[in-house]
Every structure is written in C-alpha cells, then in structure tokens.
A and B are shown apart, each in its own frame.
Chain A
Amino acid sequence: MKTILKREILNNLYSLRFLISLALLLGVFLAGAFSYVKGHEAALGKYQIARSQYDEAMRKDAESNATNLAVTMRSFTLRPRDNAFIDDAKEKYLPNAVVYSAWNVFSFENKSGNSNPFLNKHDDLNWAYMAALIVSFVTLIFTFDAVSGEKESKTLALTLSNSISRGAVLFGKYLSAVATVLLLLLPAAGLNLTIILLAGRTPLTLALVVELGGFLIIACLLAAAMAAFGLFTSVVTRNSNVSLLLSLCIWLLFVAVVPNSSTFIAKTIYPIENSETIQRKVDAAFDDLNKNAPPGSWMMNSGNPFLPQHELRARIVMKRLEAEKSIRDAYYRNMFRQFERTRLWTALSPISLFQYSSEAVVGGGYPRFQKVWNDLHIYQTQFLSFFKDLDAKDPKSPHWHNPLENVSTTRQKVAIGTVPQFSERPMSFGARLRSALPYLLVSVLAACLVYVLSYILFVRYDVR
C-alpha cells in the first residue's frame, strides 16, 4: 500500500499535468494576491468613508436631541472582511447593509456602489474560487485515467498480478490524487498568503490560522470528493478518452450547470410574492388604520409637544409601524427561506457544498449576514429601552412614543458616548462549525458513496 502510494505520488509529481497545474495555480494565486491587496485597500477606503458618515450623522443627531437619534433610520454597513482573500463568499452580491432605527430593524440592502453593475458577475480570485475551479479540475485530471489509462498501457494487469488487492490499488490511487492536489495547493496558497501578510493590511492572528486550517481541511474534502468522481469515471469505461469526457461532463455539471441554475430553481420551485404585492398589503393595512383612526390623527403642528393631536398621531404611526413590520418581516423570512432552500438544491454539487462550508469557516457570506441581522434586532431592543429610559426621565416630554417623528418625546441632548453602539461581532467558531457541519457531512457522504461505487466497479473490472 505504502509502495503504491509512493509510486503514484511520484508519478503524479513527475507528470506534465503536475507542472502545468502548478504553474497555473501559482500564476492565479499570485494575481489573486496582488489584486486582493489593491482591491481590499480600496474597499476599506470606501468603507471608512461610509462609516465616518454614519458616525458623524449619529453624533449630530445625538447632539440635536434624543428623539432625533431614535427615529432616524440608519444604514449599518458591513466592513470588508480581512480574511476575504480566503473566501469573499460573494458578499459583494449579497445585502451588505441593514437599515434600522431605535424602533425597528426595517430592511437590508446591497448598498449601491458595492459592485459595478456594468461589470459581468464574477468571483474574486480568492482561495475558495481557486479551489472550487482549479483544484476540482486538476483532481479530475489526475484521476480520470487512473484505471482506464493503466489498462490501456497494460500496466494494470501487471500490477494486479502481484499479491496486492484491488482495494489497495484503488485506495492508493485515490489517496495519491488527493495528496498531489494538496502538494499543488500548499505552495500556491503559501505564496498568496506571504504576499498578503507582507502587504501589512492583514495581521496573522490565531483566528486566521484556525480559518486557514479549516479551509485546507474542506479543500481536502473537495479534492477527495472530486477524486472519487474521477476514479468513478475511470472504472466505468475501458478507454481513457471516454473517462476524460465523462469527467469533464461531471465537472461542467458541478461547476457550471448546478450552481448557475439556482436563480431559475429559486423562482420556479420556491416562488415568493413580489415587492409590489407586499407594498399593496402595506398600503391596505395603512388605509385600514387611517379609516379607523379618530379625527385629527393626522393633524400636524410641531410647535407644542403637548398638543393632543400628537398623541393621536403617535398612536396611529405606531400602529402603522407594527402593521408594516409584521408584513415585511414575514416577507423577509420568505426571502431567507427561498434562498436557503435553493442552496440545498445546489448542494447536489460537491463544489457548491465546498463553497457553503468555506463561507461558514471564514464567517462570511450568508451566515455572516444572518448573524448581523439577528444581532441588530437584539441591539435595536437595547437601543429602544435606552431611549425610553431617557424619555421617561424627562419631565418636559409628554411620552407619546412616535417612531417616525421628532415631536412628542424627549428633546434633550444626549452624549454620544452614553448611547449604545452596534458593532459587528465575528461568528464564533462553534457557530461556524454548526453552519458548515451539514454541508461537510453531505460532502463526506458523497465522497464515500462514490468511492464505494468505484470500488465495487473496480472489483468487477476486466483488467485485460
């Protein structure tokens, strides 16, 4: 077994495909490193501008009065991740900002300018992309002729004429392919990491080391799954050309067809109501509230906070907020469900499984958004109780809570230092593992299943 493994690895290392793969990976990882350093710096610059505007607006509102601070809608933007060179998790195409006030978490948005609409959709040249595309391809290239190729060159019969089991031969080839791919990935990734660390923007922390280790493990799993598929195509045919074609078909299916049919699946299998219908529902709820509102509810005169109509208006505005919130929150839940279920469909592809595991490992993408979304809901309740406490202490306030207007609650200034601030906390490693685990399990299961199938076919394989 050891001899087979050693022989196979050496064969792979001396092969032309290894050299070309290495050159390709080094080239792409090198380009990825320089592009990342440059692009990340620009992204951070833009984020700093947005963040300083956010902080400045909050400070000004606090200086004007506490009600202004509470009712103003703000957009909390997610910071570009420092570990995005491992996997950007397509964050530039996901909502990257959450709109909230003390009264509600209203919505999420993909802040305009996050990605150029005139640029065709593309993946960043990060490790995850390179693993998903190149590593998966290279693994198939190293395995498609593992059996059929040896049969053609008549070495398979010779090998099996020795006292070695077919299982050991197949497993040796399998392990050697995975090991070869790792030997390709490690120097390229190392080069990429060195450049990024030398650029000085990304510190090497313990968390980053754990993330890198986690990524390499799931990259190994991807290689293992793809190697199993490569071996499978090698044992179902007698001709390496046909094996190659089958391998390429499988690869195309996993890389191009399954992931790219997601939008179609989402809209066809899991349709959700359109935004116009939701707006109509909100309008209908508002109309209903307006019809039943006592006369004078919409009277506006901001001079005196104790005017009785302010109480009426505060009540109706609060009811409107609650009505809209219940409609929109249900709609958002449908959006999340549609997205999550569609991802389950695309989990048919080991490459998609790898991508979903990878985004969980780096704490980015959809799991990151979900955490920020949920955390902001918790923060909003804290912010609201802070504001209500302030209002309750103000004798000049009529305490008529109006979530949209700066009229009938406290007009006292508030020191910005005392206001609870929201800051994004990275996902804990436990949460990341929980998020990645289902995908990892399916990935392992798929690799084992296909490998066992390949083994059964290899046992029955005519080596002559």
Chain B
Amino acid sequence: MIFHIARKEFRNNLHSARFVIGFLLCFVLIPFSIVINIVDYRDKTIQYKVDADAAEKAVKEIRVYSALRPEIVLPPEPLSIFSRGISGQVGNRVKIWIGDNPMLAAGKTAAGDNPFLGSFFSIDFVEIAAIVFSLLALLFGYDVFTREKEDGTLKVQLSNSLSRSRLSAGKVLGILLTLLPIMIFCYLFSAVLILFSKSVTFSAFEWGRIALLFLISLAYLAVFIFLGVLISARSRSSVTSLVFCLFIWVFFIFIVPNVSAYIAESFVPVQSRDNLDRVVNDMDRDLTSQTQERQKAQNLPTGISCQWCNWGDDGLLETYGNSRADFEIMLRKITISEPLRIEYADRKWAPQKSYLDSLIRQSRVAERISMISPAGLFRVIAEAVCSTGVRAHESDMVQARRYRETFIDFLRNKNVFASYRYITAAPPETFRTEDQLVEIRSGGEFKTVREYDEWAAKQKDRFAAWRKLNKVTAYGDRPDDFPFLNVSDMPRFQGRSKTFASGLADSVVQISVLLIECVFLFALGYVAFIRFDVR
C-alpha cells in the first residue's frame, strides 16, 4: 500500500509544473556552477604548475645553503569543483624559512591578480545544491497534506482501512522518489561534465568522495522533505504552509550561514594583525641586537666588507671574491646568527600561534552557529568530504611546519651553519689574502693593500681610484664561476595522505547531527500527521 501511494504521489508530482521548473532550474544552475568551477580549477592548476616549477627551479639554482629555502606549493584540490570551502581565500604557497614558522599560506587567492575581484562572491555546486534541493523539497512537501485536505480527498482516503502511518510514509516516499531522479541527474550531469573536461582528472578517491557527497545530499534532501511535511501537517491551509516554508527556506539557506559568520566576526574578535606584526618586528629587532652583541663579544666587526654580495631575508648571504680573513669573519658571524635565528623563530611562534588560534576559533564559532541550519551542516560536511575546509588547510599547514623541522634537521646534520658553503660556493682552499687580491685585481700594479691605500689617499677622484682595483676580474669573484649546489639529498615535502577515510573523522559529528535531524523531523511530522484534523 505504501508503494502504491508513493507511486500515485510520484505520478502526480511528475506531471506538475513545479517538477518541470525544478528540473529546469537544476538543468541550468548545476552545469553553470560546475563549468565555472572547472574553469577555476583549470586556472588554479596552471598557476600551480607555474609556481611548482618556479619553486623547483629556485631550489636547484642556488649555490649556497643560506639561499636554500624551499617553497611548498600545494596542489589545487580537484573536489573544489564541488565545494570550494576556503580554498579560494587562502594561498597555496608556503615558504620554509629557518627564522619563521609557517603561519598562513601565501600566493594567489580566488581573486587572482586583481584584488578588487575579492569583493565578488562565488558559488559552487554544494551551495547551488543546498539552495535548489531544499527549495524543491519544501515546494513538494508544503502541501502534501493540506492540498488533499482542501480538495477533500484526504478524508476519503482515511475513511478506508488505510492507516495514517502508511499514508504519510507513502507520501514522503513519493516526494523522495520525485526528487531523487533530479538529484541523480544533477550528479550524473556533473560527472559527465568532469569526464569530458580535459583539465580535470579524477582518481578513484575523488569519485568515492563524490559518491559520499551524494549520500549526504540525500540526507540533506530528506531533512527538508520532512520539514515540509511537518509544516504541512501543522498548517491549516496550503497558503499558510507555503509562506512558512518559504520563510524557513530563506532563513536557513541565506540568513543563518551569513549571520553566523557575521556574529562570529563581531563577538569573537581575532587579534590585531598589525599588533602581531609589531610584536614580531620587535622580536626581529631583538634578534638583530642579540646577534650583534654576541658577535661583538667575540670581537667581530659590525659591518660586512665584500667584493660580491647578495644578502636578503632569513640570513641570505652569498658572497664571493673576498679575502680569507673576511670569509672567516663572515663564517664566525653566521655560526652565531643562524642558531639564534632558529631559536627566535620558536619564540615568535608563541604570538603567531595565538593569532592563528584566534582566526581558527572565530571560524569554528561561525561553523557551529551555522549548524543551526541544515544548509550550514551540509556545507561543513561537504567541505570535509571535498578537503577544502579549514581543517584540511590546517592539516596542510601542520605538515608544512613539520617539514620545516625536518629541513632544519637536514641543515644541522650537514653542519652547514659552521660551513663556508652556507655563504659561498668558493672552496676554502681557493681563498686568497687581501694583498694577493689587490695584486690580481690591479693587474700587478700594486703588490699590497698598503701600497694601494697610500696611492689612493693621494687621489682626488675616488671613483677612478676604485676602478684601479677592478681592472682584472679574478676567478672566484663571481658566482657564475661555481656550479649550483647539489640538493638531491634534501628532504621533500610530503602532502597529507589521501585515503578515503582521511579527514572525515572530524565531520562524523556533523553527519550524525544531520541524520538525527532527519529522524527527529520525520518523527515530528509523523506525530503531527497522526494528530492532523483531516476535516
């Protein structure tokens, strides 16, 4: 009997305008979102390849360890085609510094090269599905009892030996059977678009996750069907039921997710980034003064005198053509500065972590508030399934921080902070004295530094005097005289594991809540219909 009622309901729905319009809505919106996100994924993949190649090249084309700072480039998540999560808001590049722990990923966001585009929002499959499936479920469910009551057919049906339980089960099943083909169509259509897209290749892992997403969509659809049925069973007329359903729909789909983020932003403040930057800058200044103090204690000069120098962030110092004495001074300096730099990175991490935690805490609060709405729950679960949420990003960053530790261990094991290879590719045995350098560079005109200085002191044109010492370029004066550093033994970054279950553990609670909502709403709808006045 249940199936009989379901079949009748299904046929009635199938011939209704709402089915046709609902189907057309999906037919337009689903490919729209999938195509947009495939294009976006293709762009991200192209950018990823460019960035990854650049990062690889940057590691290979260096000559000294002080320049060796690998960059992790995280590949775009293929399932971001379905749910973007925060993947469009965070970068995908993490530079590994010895003087800083990775905090936030850098690189381009969804806005690409134009920061103004950041003010445009985008929509993905999951959001479209959340909007359309819930709308259809409510539109098919809102008059499931009230319509028949208004037509007078409900009384007739229940005057037979048909129980209310069977009737309600049959009607719910009928709506589910009506909407199921639309949902299957949406997923199949998306799958076809992905299969025909040259820029996307899904592995078994991704297809498995899509199947899981389908099952979760089914539970989400059921929640709204049961909600529609409940409202119908509690309303006196179809118009009342419809008005309630529509406002509940707007509230759950559009208002709650937005309000949750805004309330979290207002009431769970994040620490000031400017303040953090100031604290970190102060620590950097402290690092510099500590380094200088320790170097001074060892009678090392403050400045650097070098023939060819390239210096920069995170202790980068590449130098050539100096005298042996200068090289020795520089080596003694980095032996002091670099371990201290690593020590300060750990000190800086405390305020940085506190800031990061405040960001995560705010997003967690927003997430929890948004779970008032089934759409919020669906979105959070979809982000976990598609590995595009905050947790997946956090996991990537944890891996990046671990990799930094491994990288520093690699440097320490090679004892690079006490090696000339940290600052120059010139072998120590090729280092010359200052007198030798003056003789070579002046083309034999001066034999010693003293001789040159005495001559230079008499010159009015200092520039001409300087040029005397650049007559001849000696071997080892330029980096091009030496080969690149062999870093084949450097540990490489391993991304997070991609097994079917990975990352899903965190969303078990949310999935359970969604299922409980399903059961609860079904039970409420059933009780409401049992007490429904059919007259």
> Which residues of A line the B interface, CB within 8 A?
16-17, 20-21, 24, 28, 31-32, 34-36, 38-39, 42, 45-46, 49-50, 53, 90, 93-95, 108-114, 116-125, 129, 133-134, 137, 141, 239, 241-242, 244-246, 248-249, 252, 255-257, 259-264, 266-268, 272-276, 295-296, 299, 307-309, 335-336, 338-339, 342, 365-366
Contact = CB atoms under 8 A, between A and B. Distances in A.
B261 A122 contact: yes
B240 interface: yes
Contact of A94 (B90, B115, B246, B366): B115
Contacts of B254: 133, 255
B49 to A, nearest CB: 12
Given A49-B275, A118-B360, A118-B362, A259 B120 contact: yes
B244 interface: yes
B359 interface: yes
Given A134-B250, A299-B463, A264 B255 contact: no
Contacts of A274: 112-113
A112 B17 contact: no
A338 B263 CA distance: 33
Interface in B241-260: 242-244, 246-247, 250-251, 254-255, 257-259
14 contacts: A24-B251, A34-B266, A35-B266, A39-B266, A42-B269, A49-B275, A111-B273, A112-B273, A116-B362, A117-B86, A118-B86, A129-B258, A295-B467, A339-B117
Nearest to B276: A113
B196 interface: no
B231 to A, nearest CB: 12
Contacts of A114: 273
B166 interface: no
Contacts of A16: 239-240, 243-244
Interface residues of B, number: 79
Contact of A260 (B90, B122, B265): B122
B121 A259 contact: yes
A308 B113 contact: no
B114 A339 contact: yes
A296 B40 CA distance: 48
Contact of A28 (B22, B259, B363): B259
> Which 7 residue pairs are nearest across A and B when measured between Cβ atoms?
A113-B273, A39-B266, A262-B120, A122-B261, A260-B123, A118-B363, A35-B266
Given A24-B251, A53-B274, A336-B116, A118 B359 contact: yes
B516 interface: no
Given A137-B250, A242-B17, A121 B462 contact: no
Given A111-B273, A264-B40, A335 B264 contact: no
Interface in B423-463: 462-463
Contact of B278 (A53, A116, A119, A267): A53
B262 A121 contact: no
A24 B247 contact: yes
Contact of B116 (A45, A50, A267, A339): A339
Nearest to B47: A274
Contacts of B247: 17, 20-21, 24
Contacts of A262: 117, 120-122
B462 to A, nearest CB: 7
Interface in B201-243: 239-240, 242-243
Given A39-B266, A111-B273, A119-B264, 11 more contacts: A16-B243, A24-B247, A46-B273, A110-B115, A122-B261, A133-B250, A241-B18, A262-B122, A272-B113, A296-B466, A308-B462
A120 B265 contact: no
A277 to B, nearest CB: 9
B120 A46 contact: no
B520 to A, nearest CB: 23
A46 B265 CA distance: 13
Contacts of A295: 467
A129 B122 CA distance: 16
Interface in B36-68: 36, 39-40, 43, 50
Nearest to B118: A93
Contacts of A308: 462-463
A86 to B, nearest CB: 15
A266 B115 contact: no
Contacts of B267: 35, 38
A257 B116 contact: no
Contacts of A299: 463, 466
Contact of A249 (B25, B110, B128, B255): B25
